[in-house]
Amino acid sequence: MTSAQAEVKARPKREASRHVVARVDEIAEGKSKLVNVEGRAIAIFNVKGEYLAIANRCPHEGADLCRGSVVPLIESDTPGVVRLSRHGELVRCPWHGWEFDLRTGKSWCDPSRTRVKSYDVKVERGAALVEGPYQTEVYKISVEDEYLVLEL
């Protein structure tokens, strides 16, 4: 083990912080919402009722990914024959068309080297959030509603 690896291993793990960022009904299916948490711009996408979050900045030239198109995966095993799968699970950069997997943040064209940060998003009832410890900088919590909680 190198000294750099030992230093990384010795660092204490940072405890994850949880942030209430939206009500569930604020992001329609197939749409996205941009939120800012701890100085980070994060795009949250509603994919058939599942919420997926990635860093909003495209690593190519910095475009806002929340303004990109949500697209399916286009696959082909035979020339001239294509099929669409994973509907709504990729976002295409609005500037140059780079595509990123909303689950992993990996670039579809170069998954081993290019990616955007992905974040965990959970749906939680307001009643559970009242107990904390959550940061609710913007939202007044109602026990009847459901909220998106982003974990950094």
pLDDT of residue 140: 64
Mean pLDDT of the chain: 83
Question: Which phi and psi angles does 117 have, rounded to 5°?
Answer: -65, 135
Model pLDDT for residues 21-79, shown as the tens digit of each residue: 888 999 999 999 999 998 999 999 999 999 999 999 999 889 999 999 988 777 788 89
Comparing C-alpha atoms, which of 91, 87, 148, 97 is closest to residue 123? 148
Comparing C-alpha atoms, which of 112, 106, 103, 102 is closest to residue 59? 106
Percent of the chain topping pLDDT 90: 44
Give the mean pLDDT of 98-113: 89
Sheet of 81-92, strands arranged across: 69-78, 81-92, 99-101
Return d(Cα 98, Cα 57) in angstroms, integer: 12
- Domains delineated in the chain: 15-151 (2.102.10.10)
- Beta strands 146-151 and 32-37, pairing class: unpaired
pLDDT of residue 52: 96
How many residues in total does the chain contain?
152
Give the mean pLDDT of 138-145: 64
